[in-house]
Structure 1
Amino acid sequence: MKNRDQALSRRDFVRSASLSGLTLMLGVSVPGLGKSTSEIINISSADDQGTELIPWISISQSGQVTLLNHRSEMGQGTFQAIPQILAEELEVNLDQVVVLSAPANQRKYGPQPTEGSFSVRGWYKQLLQVGATARQMLIEAAGNQWNVPVSECLADNGQVIHRPTGRKLGYGALVEVAARQTPPQNVPLKKRREYKLIGKSLPRKDIPLKTNGSAVFGLDKKVPGMLYAVVERNPRFRGKVKRFDDSKTKAVPGVKKVLVVKRAVFGNLYEGVAVVATSLWAAMQGRKVLKVEWNDDGFEHLDSEQLSAQMRANLKKPAPSAPLETALRNAAKQLEAVYETPYQSHSCMEPLNCIAHVQENRIEIWGPIQEAVWIQNDLSERFGVPKENIMVNMTFLGGGFGRKGFTDYPYEAALISQAVKAPVQVVWTREDDMSGGPFRTGAFYSCKGGIDEKGNITAFQTVTAAQWFWQEWRPEPFPDPEPLKENHGNVDGLLSPYLKAIPQYSFGGVATRAPIPVMWWRSVYASTGGFASESFIDELAHAAAKDPLEFRRNHLPDARYQAFIDRLEAVSQWKSRGKNAGWGVAITESFGSICAHVVSVSRKTDGKLKIDKVIALMDCGWYVNPDIIRAQVEGSIIMGLGAAILHATTFKDGKAVEQNFNTYPMPRITDSPEIDVHIMDNDENPGGVGEPGLPPFAPALCNAIFDLTGKRMRTLPFKLDDL
């Protein structure tokens, strides 16, 4: 399977997929364009019909199969998984195909965000159906050519075989006939037991590209006539440029222009001064001698201590739920706890960067883009350019975690390109990337619970105090907190069946207002909410004198969760755990998947605490590639480890303190425990994989520490060596 780095128009797609003659290209019509449901369409007739569609499969007369990946690849595996789904029903070997990445075009390719762990679970049915339809058309073409019943033919490994005679025809030889057919609808799909590719740990085809240096990431991309830019941005985020002195900057050889530029972050415009030059080095040297005076009036310059104090105060604002308070008073035991989680930087391996070329009524973008369509729509609205004249080209991403799904950095690059009338690559330094935001918000959770004489939860409440990223679009103050509603709502990460077993529960929250920009971070609020809910569930289990895993089993009546706990108990050998180590468990639910971690900790010979092993179990329903799942869970655990015990973003006088890895340390190999990942097999609908593996780690670790030391860890991050 090969990758081609190119912008993909329909003409490019046809040209790249076909050497000569007719080409069989199949896609899916987009509902809402005169149709109520999706429909498989032969693209050769789509232009005549005025139909917009997703062209996923192309087969040329030479036999070349081209598959389209309409999602960005940032390490999570869509470059492998989406073609693997298509190839399964198409009956081709992945070594035989070329994979192309689609540009932004919502009318042709549908929604294209790589977020919410949605790539497979949102598109697998359409992908399977397109592959099956193409296969059936080729089989029918062969049956007609041989004048035999179609039922006597089957497809295998890029060819159609006539069972009685053993005759074979490659797909390329059948394209001319198949390309003129009307695609059949609702072709039966394979049974799961018949899969040859799906469910198999096939080697990822992007890995060789990324190890031999041929993969094109955003920082690798170059276009003719390109200039380079770096931006001195206000470290207090909302401040404005008062004045700047660029006399020394313009004296640096290669510097072409210095200008004020704005970055749109939700409902705010953040200002900076851009230095544009003929090389990145010249731009960076020019920035070093640039002098900027900021106007930071009109907003608070908060410290982390002030933010934390505000969140603690906000936990007390909602009026109580009367039914829940009654249930708490009547409980045999009551418990309260507050959990605190910090702000976090995304800190992707590849810092932010973007190339923009703004021309008359046309804009083209290249870079590590996580949400191509949103960027296309944003630029269209801000520049007044029709969407069809805006091309957003996705390169490989060196990590994303939600940060590269935002619109601010392409908009900033486009403004600079417009000002200098040339393509410009804007590069964020590591310090820019880690201190410029938006960040994962800090979050505080106040939990209350009651249990009866039998050890069952009778009342459960969580109040959340955090910045909510959607409030950034609403500059007006939020209304005063309302009374908490009983038996209403949820908290991110909490297993939904708990609410069936608990008679009285309530959830609510208060928005913390601050000039610190915040947004989604891997697993969004499940990374903080899961820590609070599963830590508190564990505290309730111990208050009830119950085994923590059995306590969870008793409150999760659904058959899927019972089977999940059975498997978790077996793979972790929970019942045979030793007495010289602490064991902790946490189970969270997010993005359609259930994930559990069992963590074991012990003391080293010097008395310091160490993490021995993490056993993970993922239930993401129907899945494509087990190795991708294991890799994502392993990566999530390491990311969760860093956020739990190593790093946080703090603020002093309104500025981010941690600006590089010397003060925001990442887990090293020596910090990494043994990790053992297991996957549930069932017939549930597919869930996400890239995000659900993170939330259980911190609560499982803290629950294990309690099991060993008797000390509850309710504030992240903390240092293992201090325990």
Structure 2
Amino acid sequence: MSTLSRRNFIKLSSLTGAALTLGFYSHGKETTIVKADTAESLGIDLNAWISIDTSGKVTITNHRAEMGQGSFQSVPQIIAEELEVDLNAVNIVFAQGNNAKYGSQITGGSSTIRGSYKKLLNLSATAREMLIEAAANKWKVPHSECYAENGHVIHKPSGKKFHYGELVQEASKLTPPKHVKLKLPEEYKIIRKPVPRQDTPLKTNGKAIFGMDKRLPGMLYAVVERNPRFQGKVKSFDDTETKKVPGVKHVIPVKTSVFATFREGVAVVADSLWAAMQGRKVLKVEWDDTGFEHLDTEQLYTRMNESLTKPGLSIRTQGNAKGVFEKSDNKLEAVYETPYESHSCMEPVNCTAHYHDDMVEIWGPIQGPDWVQDFLSPLLNLPKEKIVVNMTFLGGGFGRKAFMDYPHEAAIISKEVKAPVQVVWTREDDTTQGPFRPGMVYGCKGSLSKDGNITSYALHTAGQNMDHQWLNANKEAYNNSGSEGFLETYFRSIPNYDFSDSPLDVPIPVMWWRSVYASTNAFAMESFMDELALKAGKDPLAFRRQHLHDERYHALADKLEEVSGWKNRKKNEGYGIAITECFSTIVGEVVKVSKKSDGKIKIDKVWAVMDCGWYVNPDIIRQQVEGSIVMGLGAAITHATHFKDGKAVEQNFNTYKQPRIIDTPEIEVHIMDNEEKAGGVGEPSLPPFAPALTNAIFDLTGKRVRKLPFSLDTV
């Protein structure tokens, strides 16, 4: 899977004789489809393009990262559907970083499909219609007598047909139509079908190129001994023994930009990764850790809990939640805690850089190539066009590889040693250095009417605000993700609500983690919703139904009730429910638990219903739902990052333990079919799992879990 620029592809395709190359560009709120040669002559950069050569081969750019979430499959499915070609005839290449050309390239927020599917459908349908028009002109017949199928244009009355490759030269001379008719979902042949992923063979036969697979002539390898405390500095180092290790070439101090400060360390550069790692083992570094706090986990949570007693920054409010709560005789309060977490991607952080001739070229598992360009330009004093960022496959990202620190580190080391360098983080580096998912504390208050409706709802969040870490950040700004995860319909059905937050300012780096703040918010939101249902004397699902004022939510609740057998629950079985919303997708989950013969809790099954609106591949959706639930399971019962004296305690998977296959319950996934706009898929199934699990445990045992992680063996 190579990286290819639009300009170079046009040059290459011209060597084959001719090609039909179309792309779209955005101007204001409008999107226009043009031919590549037209764009070239007008100086327009295309956001994305497809090209069909004389052999009929279709090539498209994937301007987003493939980190296992399936964009490498979903994007070609969209193109193949409206273009009427076999999916195997579509070749996909990674685009280089260039937001002027492709728009936002950040792979995050479950945005890849929902941000571009309509444009991709129109782009491929436009190419199809131009090919049909070219065939009709050659046959001198009406356009309406022709149709496209399996890479051919066919004349209905005569049965004559042309292969797409035979039409590209004539089609490339036509003007793209401004309006094309798209298929209805019931007409789809490829979209919404469980088509096998194209990247699976590559990832099983070793042909897929991940970040650590990149090789360049003369490339060196580097590992970095970084200060274990985020804001600490290098006071001095002794590399005497390090330089005795065969293969070690350089030992240099490095300062990598992270938020508003620099992470300091010492890089060991060698002709092999093994030599670099052995050299680091005998490196002696003295750290300067003065001037900032060295906090323990207990101190962090004490501060968060204390801040709940003070007014917070207002996030979203309606009515008079405080006044209604204080006057109510039927009210409830609860506090919930969620832990700090490491991303722990299967592929640890790594990056390859080659700084030469006043430019730098970068290869790696990168979620935001355009962000890397923007970030490095002022730091390296280079124009963005001199920073070439090439994406590889990612062995998991979860938000960590949308950050820009590790490409910066690779670039400055390459510049210093005057050679291409691959920087590899060990698993210990990856686990201890962060940035982490922030630990959070939530104060919840709610009141009820006599008939069991919520009259007031307040959620006070305490924890680190990721946005407050940047240079010149406005620390009076509220956390705009503080209500993430809450159903939008609740904002219409609850008359008085108040969401606020109290930011914690401490020297621990935090950032996006799969589903971002929804991953922590939802535990409090949906656990408290269950507690309110109990207070109201209502069935948990029925209580939620009272506050669902939109048919779309009711349809999901109906499906969840049906597939889980909610109404047929038996004694000695615990059932818990949670319904959350983020990235324009609604997910409901039911968890069933029971007791083993030794009295310990076991998770029997999870039912998940996802309403992501318009979707592409049901198998990929199921994969993402299952992966999200397993990741949510880990964050609920098996792992957390703790701090002692300002340093992360957990070093590797022996202490930051992951769920194993034996821990994973049966997961049954259902997808709602409707005409809603496309929502996210990769993240929204994680938030509801933890509250559904703890609600199930309460249903079985009467014990309320308000702090994560917890042990199933001791609950």
Q: TM-score range by the shorter chain?
A: over 0.9
- Equivalents in 2 of 1:717, 1:580: separation in Å? 24
Counterpart for residue 89 of structure 1: 82
Counterpart for residue 194 of structure 1: 187
- Measured after TM superposition, the shift of residue 637 of structure 1 is 0.3
Report if aligned partners of 1:255, 1:276 keep a CA contact under 8 Å in 2: yes
Matches within 5 A, 1:93-104: 93-104=86-97
- Equivalents in 2 of 1:75, 1:464: separation in Å? 32
Counterpart for residue 200 of structure 2: 207
Q: Report the secondary structure of 1:721's partner residue.
A: coil
Residue among 570, 573, 579 paired with 2:571: 579
Residue among 402, 405, 409 paired with 1:412: 409
Structure 1 length as normaliser, TM-score?
0.96
- Measured after TM superposition, the shift of residue 19 of structure 1 is 5.7
Count of matched residue pairs: 711
Counterpart for residue 143 of structure 2: 150
Matches within 5 A, 1:257-406: 257-318=250-311, 323-406=320-403
- Measured after TM superposition, the shift of residue 533 of structure 1 is 0.3
Counterpart for residue 9 of structure 2: 13
- Measured after TM superposition, the shift of residue 598 of structure 1 is 0.1
- Equivalents in 2 of 1:669, 1:383: separation in Å? 45
* CA deviation map 1:539-584 (0-9, x unaligned): 0001111000010000111111111111111111110111120000
> What code does the residue aligned with 1:153 have?
C
Counterpart for residue 124 of structure 1: 117
* CA deviation map 1:485-533 (0-9, x unaligned): xxx9962211111121112111100100110000010000000001100
- Equivalents in 1 of 2:329, 2:668: separation in Å? 39
- Equivalents in 2 of 1:478, 1:664: separation in Å? 32
> What code does the residue aligned with 1:346 have?
H
Residue among 532, 540, 543 paired with 2:524: 532
Residue among 526, 546, 569 paired with 2:561: 569
Counterpart for residue 31 of structure 2: 38
Report if aligned partners of 1:301, 1:654 keep a CA contact under 8 Å in 2: yes
Report if aligned partners of 1:317, 1:481 keep a CA contact under 8 Å in 2: no
Counterpart for residue 548 of structure 1: 540
Report if aligned partners of 2:593, 2:602 keep a CA contact under 8 Å in 1: yes
> What code does the residue aligned with 2:684 have?
P
> What code does the residue aligned with 2:626 have?
E
* CA deviation map 1:432-487 (0-9, x unaligned): 001011000000000001111111111110100010111001567845999xxxxx
- Equivalents in 1 of 2:401, 2:679: separation in Å? 22
Report if aligned partners of 1:18, 1:59 keep a CA contact under 8 Å in 2: no
Q: Report the secondary structure of 2:47's partner residue.
A: strand
Q: Does structure 1 residue 459 correspond to structure 2 residue 456?
A: yes
Report if aligned partners of 1:153, 1:160 keep a CA contact under 8 Å in 2: yes
Residue among 432, 443, 463 paired with 1:435: 432
Q: 420-429 or 7-16: which moved more?
A: 7-16
Report if aligned partners of 1:583, 1:704 keep a CA contact under 8 Å in 2: yes
> What code does the residue aligned with 2:165 have?
G
Report if aligned partners of 2:257, 2:405 keep a CA contact under 8 Å in 1: yes
- Measured after TM superposition, the shift of residue 691 of structure 1 is 0.5
* CA deviation map 1:278-332 (0-9, x unaligned): 1111111110110000000000000000001010011111179993233113334
Counterpart for residue 508 of structure 1: 500
Counterpart for residue 485 of structure 1: none
Report if aligned partners of 2:3, 2:93 keep a CA contact under 8 Å in 1: no
Residue among 602, 607, 616 paired with 1:624: 616
Q: Does structure 1 residue 671 correspond to structure 2 residue 663?
A: yes
Residue among 454, 467, 473 paired with 2:470: 473
Report if aligned partners of 2:577, 2:696 keep a CA contact under 8 Å in 1: yes
Distance 1:252 1:132, change over 3 A: same
Q: Percent identity?
A: 61
Report if aligned partners of 1:353, 1:427 keep a CA contact under 8 Å in 2: yes
Residue among 102, 105, 122 paired with 1:112: 105
Report if aligned partners of 2:375, 2:404 keep a CA contact under 8 Å in 1: yes
Report if aligned partners of 2:613, 2:678 keep a CA contact under 8 Å in 1: yes
Q: Report the secondary structure of 1:74's partner residue.
A: coil
* CA deviation map 1:379-437 (0-9, x unaligned): 12211222122211110000000000000000010000000111100000000001011
Q: Report the secondary structure of 2:33's partner residue.
A: strand
* CA deviation map 1:336-381 (0-9, x unaligned): 0000001000000000000011112211100101111000111122
Q: Does structure 1 residue 167 correspond to structure 2 residue 167?
A: no
Q: Report the secondary structure of 1:404's partner residue.
A: helix
Distance 1:500 1:10, change over 3 A: closer
Q: Report the secondary structure of 1:83's partner residue.
A: helix
Report if aligned partners of 2:466, 2:511 keep a CA contact under 8 Å in 1: yes
Residue among 130, 135, 138 paired with 1:137: 130
- Equivalents in 1 of 2:135, 2:189: separation in Å? 22
Counterpart for residue 720 of structure 1: 712
Q: Report the secondary structure of 2:241's partner residue.
A: helix
* CA deviation map 1:17-40 (0-9, x unaligned): 5661111100002325xxx62110
Q: Report the secondary structure of 2:27's partner residue.
A: coil
Distance 1:194 1:150, change over 3 A: same
> What code does the residue aligned with 2:296 have?
D
Q: Report the secondary structure of 1:27's partner residue.
A: strand
Report if aligned partners of 1:637, 1:697 keep a CA contact under 8 Å in 2: yes
Residue among 24, 30, 39 paired with 1:28: 24
> What code does the residue aligned with 2:496 have?
Q
- Equivalents in 1 of 2:372, 2:179: separation in Å? 34
> What code does the residue aligned with 2:17 have?
G
Distance 1:480 1:101, change over 3 A: closer
> What code does the residue aligned with 1:22 have?
A
Report if aligned partners of 2:482, 2:501 keep a CA contact under 8 Å in 1: no
- Equivalents in 2 of 1:19, 1:695: separation in Å? 51
> What code does the residue aligned with 2:454 have?
I
Report if aligned partners of 1:303, 1:653 keep a CA contact under 8 Å in 2: yes
Matches within 5 A, 1:47-58: 47-58=40-51
> What code does the residue aligned with 1:142 have?
A
> What code does the residue aligned with 1:294 have?
W
- Measured after TM superposition, the shift of residue 54 of structure 1 is 2.6
Report if aligned partners of 1:263, 1:269 keep a CA contact under 8 Å in 2: yes
- Equivalents in 2 of 1:230, 1:613: separation in Å? 43
- Measured after TM superposition, the shift of residue 232 of structure 1 is 0.1
Runs of at least 5 residues in structure 1 that lack an aligned partner in the other structure: 483-487
> What code does the residue aligned with 1:209 have?
L
- Measured after TM superposition, the shift of residue 7 of structure 1 is 2.8
RMSD, aligned α-carbons = 1.7
Distance 1:579 1:19, change over 3 A: farther
Matches within 5 A, 1:481-492: 491-492=483-484
> What code does the residue aligned with 2:292 have?
F
- Equivalents in 2 of 1:641, 1:17: separation in Å? 48
Report if aligned partners of 1:489, 1:507 keep a CA contact under 8 Å in 2: no
Structure 2 length as normaliser, TM-score?
0.97
Report if aligned partners of 2:19, 2:168 keep a CA contact under 8 Å in 1: yes
Report if aligned partners of 2:97, 2:388 keep a CA contact under 8 Å in 1: yes
- Measured after TM superposition, the shift of residue 45 of structure 1 is 2.4
Report if aligned partners of 1:29, 1:52 keep a CA contact under 8 Å in 2: yes
Report if aligned partners of 1:445, 1:462 keep a CA contact under 8 Å in 2: yes
Report if aligned partners of 1:18, 1:61 keep a CA contact under 8 Å in 2: no
Q: 665-674 or 314-323: which moved more?
A: 314-323
- Measured after TM superposition, the shift of residue 266 of structure 1 is 1.1
Distance 1:91 1:479, change over 3 A: closer
